[in-house]
Amino acid sequence: MIVVTGGAGFIGSNLVRALNARGHADVLVVDDLSDGTKFRNLVDCELSDYLDRDDFLDRIRGGGDLPDAVTAVFHQGACSVTTEWDGRFMMRNNYEYSKILLHYCLERGIPFLYASSAAVYGGGRVFREDPQFEAPLNVYGYSKLLFDRYVRRLLPQARSQIAGLRYFNVYGPREFHKGAMASVALHFHRQILESGRARLFEGCDGYADGEQRRDFVYVDDAVAVNLWLLDHPRVSGVFNVGTGRSRSFNDVARAVIEWHGGGELEYVAFPDGLRGRYQSFTEADVGALRAAGCDVPFRDVGPGVAAYLDWLRGHGA
């Protein structure tokens, strides 16, 4: 049995679908369905069972075993709201939960593949898996960084796989439930449908209007890295998951406009609440991932956005 925490969420549900495509129907999904709308991400997935996050934690915290032997854990469950400033909640949900599950896996020799984030790098210009470049701008990024540091201390003694994936800006199917935290590709798509105008931030941090740059990653490619690690259980470490090529928000908006066959760009004032807390530039250094042998290709924004919008059209969205 394979466990996917956060399995009703964005990356988690895409991962479940990819496991199903490989013939794995023995997937235990763990999540918190307080937002019941997320069930839609699982309708076309095959599960062996579902457990509420708290029930799952109670079982593993007490040293109890799960119904079937676990062959791998994909830990995608976390609060990923970068504007959440309740640090106590964030540390319990992201840091403590992860530690409990990590030790459960280490004690049983179960591969543990978990979601980290490019938010650990903050406003820097170098995005390499090295402590000197890690300086998060928010408590979400700090919760991810602290767990990465915890993992690094344990790695030399670990006798089973531990791999952290520092996702950059992931976009694609099954993110409808994320609201304001959904990708800009989805926001631009909705804005073009509603008004014919994609709204972008005016310039900041030395960047012209809409020219802030991020490393945008199509979700299928992020999932493919997870599956590559599953196939290579001797590979452990903390790895960036990005294309290695930054693209501007203007590039994403123009890709959406091209798919729609028309539309305009509109620039809005940069929010005061984000000043000093916003990553105006990200670009993954994928050297460590490639050195580990991972040859998963990453698609560029143009074909990635087109694939996403084709999926949305096919699902009536």
Q: Enumerate the active-site residues.
A: 140, 178
Say which residue the tokens 């294309």 belong to: 243
Among 171, 179, 314, 154, which Cα is nearest to 249's? Answer: 171
- Length of the chain counted residue by residue: 317
Within 13 Å of residue 17, how many CA atoms lie on the same side as its CB? 17
* Long-range contact set of residues 176-184: C-beta below 8 Å, sequence gap at least 24: 176/37, 176/40, 176/317, 177/9, 177/10, 177/35, 177/37, 177/38, 177/40, 177/41, 178/10, 180/83, 181/80, 181/81, 181/82, 183/216, 184/249, 184/252, 184/253
Sign of the CA dihedral 270, 275, 281, 285? negative
Among 221, 270, 241, 31, which Cα is nearest to 120's? Answer: 241
d(C-alpha 148, C-alpha 164), whole Å: 7
**Strand pairing of 162-167 and 112-117?**
parallel
Q: Which residues pair with 3 in a beta bridge?
A: 28, 73
Single-letter code of the amino acid located at 132: Q
Largest separation between any pair of C-alpha atoms in the chain: 57
